């Protein structure tokens, strides 16, 4: 396995004050990350649950444009409740989340330690974000930072787009990928005159194992020319989930990105073991895979990665270049933000060429 130069737990749920006295923070994870000024800007997913509990009921918070956060009390007897993240109605199959997520800006001068926890909040907005916004990825294109994020609502899981130049004010561009689609990461520049994104279709009817696709756009809003890039049938056996992780970065050898993959053979529970793998794509033709990890470059080994809200999860979502080092930001155990560093050239040398 690739040597980590350092690893630390950067942000924990207790670091972030809740949005109100009626809610408690249970997760701070899956951060978008980008070099900004002389430091690093993070957009952290903050997860809250109601403080109140009621016997025989499950609290399911949602965002209402007129009332703000509303808590629906679902009858426990009417739902399948095995998953700690969500419940499913026994008759209709409709899913509801046990929590509500929003995004929070956190700056770090050294890329390892938060400067403070008083940054702006991006709250759910509109009917496509009723159940929250999750898992941002940040890509700098020119002087603008573009942020893809997961929008969750009764319509399903979709992908929205934000942009900013200062991480103080944000412009909303609406949905760019309709349900069911997530894990969208943008390339930092046009390729052959078009913007490029990796995305993860995740339909409810599972004809094939999970796959990562590539799409192109003239304006970052309208996406087409969809093509399958690779799937879990071409990765290790036992793969249950697969999707884009960090936005690609340009290297001499090609576009380097780190994606996530879970293995339920090693851990047969709700989530399985989530790890990060690396992939190298051709600079001029990113549909061509030049190399890929046979083994994970980062997998749960630290206590805060192995134990948490969902044990055994490393979910890479951000990458920042610091000379020969790559700082990798990730969600740890669906609870905390972790940061680790690897040597760029050592990482590229581990990739199997011609897969």
Would you write out the chain's pLDDT as a tens digit for each of its 355 residues?
A: 789 999 999 999 999 999 999 999 999 999 999 999 999 999 999 999 999 999 999 999 999 988 999 999 999 999 999 888 999 999 999 999 999 999 999 999 999 999 999 999 999 999 999 999 999 999 999 999 999 999 999 999 999 999 999 999 999 999 999 999 999 999 999 999 999 999 999 866 666 778 999 999 999 999 999 999 998 765 555 567 899 999 999 999 999 999 999 876 554 555 679 999 999 999 999 999 999 998 999 999 999 999 999 999 999 999 999 989 999 999 999 999 999 999 999 999 999 775 5
pLDDT recorded at residue 265: 56
Beta strands in 178-297 (DSSP E): 181-186, 195-201, 211-217, 224-231, 239-243, 249-250, 255-263, 273-281, 289-292
Place of tokens 């739902």: 79
- Best CA proximity match to 295, nearest among 234, 230, 352: 352
CATH architecture type of domain 6-353: 5 Propeller (2.115)
Please give the pLDDT value at position 263.
78
- Give the C-alpha separation, 153 to 340, whole Å: 33
Q: Rounded to the nearest 5 degrees, what angle is found at the Cα of 242, between the Cα atoms of 238 and 247?
A: 150
SS3 assignment for 58-103: EEEEEEECCCEEEEEEEEHHHEECCCCCEEEECCCCCEEECCEEEE
Angle at 293 between CA 339 and CA 241, to 5 degrees: 75
Sort residue 131 into left (φ over 0), alpha (ψ -120 to 50) or beta.
alpha
């Amino acid at each position: 396995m690739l040597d980590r130069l350092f690893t630390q737990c950067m942000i924990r749920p207790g670091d972030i004050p809740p949005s109100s006295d009626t809610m408690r923070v249970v997760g701070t994870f899956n951060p978008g990350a980008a070099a900004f000024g002389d430091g690093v800007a993070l957009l952290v997913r903050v997860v809250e649950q109601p403080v109140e509990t009621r016997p025989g009921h499950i609290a399911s918070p949602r965002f209402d444009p007129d009332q703000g956060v509303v808590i629906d009390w679902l009858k426990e007897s009417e739902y399948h409740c095995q998953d700690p993240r969500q419940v499913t109605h026994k008759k209709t199959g409709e899913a509801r989340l046990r929590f509500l997520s929003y995004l929070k800006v956190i700056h770090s001068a050294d890329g390892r330690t938060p400067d403070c926890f008083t940054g702006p909040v991006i709250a759910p907005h509109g009917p496509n974000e009723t159940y929250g916004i999750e898992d941002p990825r940040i890509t700098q294109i020119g002087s603008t930072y573009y942020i893809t994020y997961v929008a969750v609502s009764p319509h399903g899981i979709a992908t929205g787009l934000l942009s900013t130049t200062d991480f103080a004010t944000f412009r909303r561009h609406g949905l760019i990928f309709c349900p069911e689609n997530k894990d969208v990461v943008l390339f930092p520049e046009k390729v052959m005159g078009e913007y490029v994104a990796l995305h993860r279709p995740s339909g409810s009817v599972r004809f094939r194992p999970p796959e990562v696709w590539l799409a192109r756009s003239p304006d970052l809003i309208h996406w087409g020319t969809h093509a399958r890039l690779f799937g879990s049938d071409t990765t290790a056996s036992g793969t249950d989930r697969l999707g884009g992780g960090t936005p690609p970065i340009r290297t001499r050898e090609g576009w380097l990105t780190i994606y996530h993959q879970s293995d339920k053979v090693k851990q047969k529970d709700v989530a399985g073991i989530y790890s990060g793998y690396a992939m190298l794509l051709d600079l001029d033709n990113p549909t061509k895979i030049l190399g890929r990890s046979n083994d994970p470059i980062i997998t749960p080994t630290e206590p805060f990665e192995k134990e948490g809200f969902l044990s055994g999860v490393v979910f890479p979502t951000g990458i920042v270049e610091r000379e020969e080092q790559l700082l990798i930001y990730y969600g740890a155990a669906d609870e905390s933000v972790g940061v680790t560093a690897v040597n760029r050239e050592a990482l590229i040398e581990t990739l199997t060429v011609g897969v």
